[in-house]
């Protein structure tokens, strides 16, 4: 198995379709996970449909642990989560995927081995499988359509793992090769527009000139302008003046 960063093992219990196994592998690799364990796949193993669906994540399938039953997949684990859309009348802590992966990260950081069980496509995990888990992961889905595709459930859980593993800003600006404009550049832009708008008679009536200029200055300060934005706005005004002079 891979010797990458510490992470939970994702255990696919009796998966039925090779395509779903491949989709799960692809979802795991999207978020840097590569510990897959497969319990008694219905269509045997290896499975070419799984390989085709995995696309660039085929290595996960090559390195996957193949076992005959759920107990064997969990032998070396200290803590186990079971994903299920339905409560089975068992007394266990129930986590959202986000909180479950936060708990998993803490336990793995303390040296424990953690696994997450995912059930077969048709009916999900059986009670015997869930009974082996320490806690349940329950996704807050539409109660009238609670069934998640195997690959989707793996993707959702893997995403939450990645969010807990690295610090991801909820909002960020992509600068696309430019930088935020400096105050002096905003000042020059404001002066350029005030001069040209004044020439065009924009500041009318005279008694409102100062308040109109103040409103413009406030507008420039509110805009998150980049240096490229400032250059473009200068160009817009220069071109409009040229066009007017040609007319």
Residues 196 and 90 in one domain: no
- Hey, what are 241's tokens? 């003046």
- Rounded CA separation 3/190 (Å): 57
User: What's the pLDDT at 90?
Assistant: 80
Question: Of the given ranges (84-88, 167-171, 237-241), which has the lowest mean pLDDT?
Answer: 167-171
Residues 22 and 124 in one domain: yes
Beta partners for 10? Answer: 36, 116
User: How confident is the model over 29-54, as pLDDT tens digits?
Assistant: 999 999 999 999 998 888 888 988 98
Look at residue 172 and tell me whether its pLDDT is greater than 70: no
Domain closes at, from 165, 199, 219: 165
Question: Of the given ranges (47-56, 69-78, 182-191), which has the lowest mean pLDDT?
Answer: 47-56
Q: How confident is the model at residue 139 (pLDDT cuts 50, 70, 90)?
A: confident
Question: Of the given ranges (52-61, 137-146, 181-190), which has the lowest mean pLDDT?
Answer: 137-146
Residue 151 lies in a domain: yes
Name residue, tokens 């002079």: 245
Residue 200 lies in a domain: yes
Domain closes at, from 97, 130, 165: 165
Domain closes at, from 165, 198, 222: 165
Residues 45 and 151 in one domain: yes
Residue 14 lies in a domain: yes
CATH code of the domain covering residue 96 = 3.40.1280.10
Residues 113 and 191 in one domain: no
Domain extent at residue 202:
183-246
In the chain, the percentage of residues whose pLDDT exceeds 90 is 65
Peptide bond connecting 14 to the previous residue in cis, omega within 30 degrees of 0: no
Residues 155 and 199 in one domain: no
Residue 64 lies in a domain: yes
Residues 116 and 195 in one domain: no
Residues 23 and 142 in one domain: yes
Residues 56 and 155 in one domain: yes
Question: Per the structure, how many domains does the chain have?
Answer: 2
Beta strands in the chain (DSSP E): 9-13, 36-39, 65-67, 79-83, 94-95, 114-118, 135-137
Residues 15 and 113 in one domain: yes
Residues 121 and 239 in one domain: no
Q: How confident is the model at residue 170 (pLDDT cuts 50, 70, 90)?
A: low
Q: Mean pLDDT over residues 14-27, rounded?
A: 94
User: What's the pLDDT at 104?
Assistant: 95
Residues 75 and 132 in one domain: yes
- Rounded CA separation 43/14 (Å): 9
Question: Of the given ranges (74-88, 90-104, 221-235), which has the lowest mean pLDDT?
Answer: 74-88
Residue 237 lies in a domain: yes
Look at residue 117 and tell me whether its pLDDT is greater than 50: yes
Residue 47 lies in a domain: yes
Residue 176 lies in a domain: no
Residues 224 and 152 in one domain: no
Residue 94 lies in a domain: yes
Number of H helices, E strands in the chain: 10, 7
């Amino acid at each position: 198995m891979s010797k990458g960063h510490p992470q939970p093992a994702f255990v696919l219990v009796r998966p039925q379709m090779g395509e779903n196994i491949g989709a799960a592998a692809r979802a795991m690799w999207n978020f840097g996970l590569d510990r897959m364990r497969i319990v008694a796949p219905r269509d045997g193993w290896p499975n070419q449909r799984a390989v085709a669906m995995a696309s660039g994540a085929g290595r996960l399938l090559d390195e996957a642990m193949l076992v005959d039953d759920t107990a064997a997949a969990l032998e070396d684990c200290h803590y186990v989560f079971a994903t299920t859309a339905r409560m089975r009348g068992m007394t266990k802590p129930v986590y959202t995927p986000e909180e479950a992966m936060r708990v998993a990260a803490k336990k793995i950081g303390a040296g424990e081995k953690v696994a997450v069980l995912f059930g077969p496509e048709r009916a999900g995990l059986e009670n015997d499988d869930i009974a082996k888990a320490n806690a349940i992961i329950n996704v807050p889905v539409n109660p009238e359509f609670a069934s998640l595709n195997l690959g989707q459930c793996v993707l959702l859980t893997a995403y939450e793992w990645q969010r807990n593993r690295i610090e991801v800003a909820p909002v960020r600006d992509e600068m696309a090769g430019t930088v935020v404009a400096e105050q002096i550049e905003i000042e020059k832009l404001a002066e350029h527009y005030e001069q040209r708008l004044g020439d065009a008679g924009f500041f009318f009536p005279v008694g409102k000139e100062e308040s109109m200029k103040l409103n413009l200055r406030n507008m420039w300060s509110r805009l998150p302008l980049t240096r490229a934005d400032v250059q473009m706005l200068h160009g817009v005004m220069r071109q409009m003046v040229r066009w007017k002079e040609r007319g």
